[in-house]
Structure 1
């Protein structure tokens, strides 16, 4: 068993090293090719001109080449200046996803060894996936306890960001302060990882409940991932020319997806190589680097007009309820556009909800259903993330750009893909079928892009940032009903039909199709009325 596990680990590491080596060598060869072409051009020019005795022209051409090289260096410097929030995203999204599997394993270990106080041999066998040394009922008990903790964990995850995002979003708009929205979640994750290291050190003294509390409170009270993304998008919008908004936001969307996919793919390998302490320490270092980068490297957009608030007055303005509600007064207008905005906010819950719910129980499900270990799961989830990234790009390119389908039709296609994928996942009795089901569901996620596209046609430009913060609230709210519900369903059906949560996701996605059909009928009313 140990030899097989080591071989799998070696295979995954070899693939990662091959990909990184291939990309670096490709970049190196391209640079060398460009350099050779430049040197070759200079050499040919010199030979030709010396042969004809035209030394003055040679000097002139050499000056032109030097000028072009200078312009090339300027272009590289300009490209470097365009890189603003990308290093911050890398230092946050990568450890955020890379540590998810380790956190779940720590909860399972706490449940087995501390709360249930099962024997060392049984817990070691469950950890090593040695099925001959423990009964399936042992893992059922362990997973039920973790699922119970996940129920109230997701409630806390939902409530705090849902309250914080409107206040901090409106506050950042009033004071043109975007960096706080990005630094706050980083501080929360740093505190969380220090707490995890303490939970690991005092393993038998601190039960699962303390572990869950440390996992949820610092992240929830600082806004988490949603707060950071709201800060990133508002910051980029503030410092980027209007005509470049689309390409910059598109690049960020893709970059976030890539970092998440890499983090998911590496999660099992990193945990196997360096364990709890290693993962939490590495995550803490990356978060710290991201915090320093945001604080020292990112500059706020220049303010115009009124004098900015400072010190205690700036902090007090965060809880300025009248100003916060006044920020969203555009939603009080009774119009078909406002109705569609509320419809799209409901869609954000219907579309994101099943995805968040499945994420809460997927690792435990694959452990129980297919007897996967950390390597198996990280390989699958890396594949899952890349498949969805490619599927979303392909769907947008094909249906939106080429076939010119309406955004609502794109949402219907995405939701249909989710339903068909859910049916396939439910019926999957082998790992191969589980992988194939991912391809069937790969268009899912395009629906949220379609919703954002529709909403840009429903509000004036000055209200786009406010609607983005409402999207962040809607995403946070999804965990409130869906996370506890999926955990409760999995806990109740693990012994009879553990894939029942996929059936729930199918039925919960049907209303999204109905809502997109309604939006399609209102497609000619998507231009905002002037105030």
Structure 2
């Protein structure tokens, strides 16, 4: 009886040991697989959560400080009840658009200078972790600057928020976000509606990134160029729906249509790593980052000029201008796809003829 009890306890102990070994093995495997994903994920999550708050703060600063409107006007605009203050609402949007016109170019200068040297430096010295930490420090300082702007709500103007929110983080190389002055897609668009819309957009974007990568890469095995073409096409369709919107419901349909558009950046960088040698990956990514830093510095002022000059006639003009740009991108991607396909066919033919020539030489030598 004692032997049987001892045997059962020994078996249970062995089962516990095996179970703990399996768990430890899975944890170690998970640690090997996971690299910078949690860091990047929480960084993006922080940006997503803070963006609606900063957008509302811009409206409040422009209304209360820059334009000097009273609490009745500002509270009505911020609450979404601005039908009796439509002129004031448009003036607020114009002030914000003008601030974005100088904010984006200025915030792009410092990251551009950092990016010029960061890629080759990290390749030479294999020193990459500090470049993950610097943007986080910059955005923490930007968040603290936003808190100071709230504390000094009625004294610090919109321009101070523009500097603390974006210029200070840019000193640490934070990512350049294309901020377009399209907060009024339709006539009755409100700050509250925009906050809900922005939250839904950020949530759908996160879902699209998670599910889109699994669908295209793991299940369908789609190539990078085809992913680029699909995401660009969805951008076009989404923007057409957005530009023609006459109700909030249509805006959310546009969000759903463009759920995978953010995969464009991932596919673009993935494709860039496959067409260069491993020694030049850092330089290639630096080149892409440089273009991403320059593009907002040029496009945001252009978009804001278009928006300010068309807000009275048709606020969606900037949206259809984006459709035009994305159409050009689609044509270039299609050209790259067929060029790559033709180049592959030529190489296959060359290899075929070479192989045939080698077989002929071998047969002659054998004879």
Structure 1: distance between partners of 2:269 and 2:136: 26
Quote the residue 2:90 is aligned against: 140
Quote the residue 1:518 is aligned against: 335
Change (3 A) 1:409 1:189: closer
What pairs up with 1:9-408 in 2 under 5 angstroms? 54=4, 57-75=7-25, 77-78=27-28, 81-82=31-32, 83-131=34-82, 134-225=84-175, 357=178, 359-362=179-182, 364-365=183-184, 369-371=188-190, 373=192, 376-386=196-206, 388-389=208-209, 392-393=212-213, 396-397=216-217, 401-402=219-220, 406-408=223-225
SS of the equivalent of 1:152 reads helix
Structure 1 residue 383 displacement after superposition? 4.5
Structure 1 residue 148 displacement after superposition? 0.3
TM-score using structure 2 length: 0.82
Structure 2: distance between partners of 1:185 and 1:466: 19
Structure 1 residue 387 displacement after superposition? 5.6
Contact 1:387/1:439 (<8 A) preserved: no
Contact 1:108/1:146 (<8 A) preserved: yes
Change (3 A) 1:57 1:198: closer
Structure 1 residue 215 displacement after superposition? 2.0
Structure 2: distance between partners of 1:65 and 1:222: 52
Unaligned 5+ runs, structure 1 = 1-49, 227-355
Change (3 A) 1:59 1:383: closer
Quote the residue 2:286 is aligned against: 469
Change (3 A) 1:211 1:63: closer
Task: Pick one of 424, 437, 440 that aligns with 2:257.
Answer: 440
Quote the residue 2:355 is aligned against: none
* Cα RMSD for the two superposed structures: 2.9
Contact 1:155/1:480 (<8 A) preserved: yes
SS of the equivalent of 1:145 reads helix
Q: Which deviations, in whole Å up to 9, do the C-alpha atoms of 1:296-317 show, x marking residues without a partner?
A: xxxxxxxxxxxxxxxxxxxxxx
Structure 2: distance between partners of 1:173 and 1:407: 24
Quote the residue 1:429 is aligned against: 246
Structure 1: distance between partners of 2:137 and 2:95: 29
Structure 2: distance between partners of 1:189 and 1:497: 35
Change (3 A) 1:433 1:202: closer
Structure 1 residue 65 displacement after superposition? 0.4
TM-score using structure 1 length: 0.58
Structure 1: distance between partners of 2:213 and 2:222: 15
Quote the residue 1:297 is aligned against: none
SS of the equivalent of 1:365 reads coil
Q: Which deviations, in whole Å up to 9, do the C-alpha atoms of 1:18-51 show, x marking residues without a partner?
A: xxxxxxxxxxxxxxxxxxxxxxxxxxxxxxxx7x
Contact 1:416/1:513 (<8 A) preserved: yes
Structure 1 residue 519 displacement after superposition? 1.1
Contact 2:100/2:300 (<8 A) preserved: yes
Number of aligned residue pairs: 342
Quote the residue 1:492 is aligned against: 309
Structure 1 residue 372 displacement after superposition? 5.1
Contact 2:228/2:264 (<8 A) preserved: yes
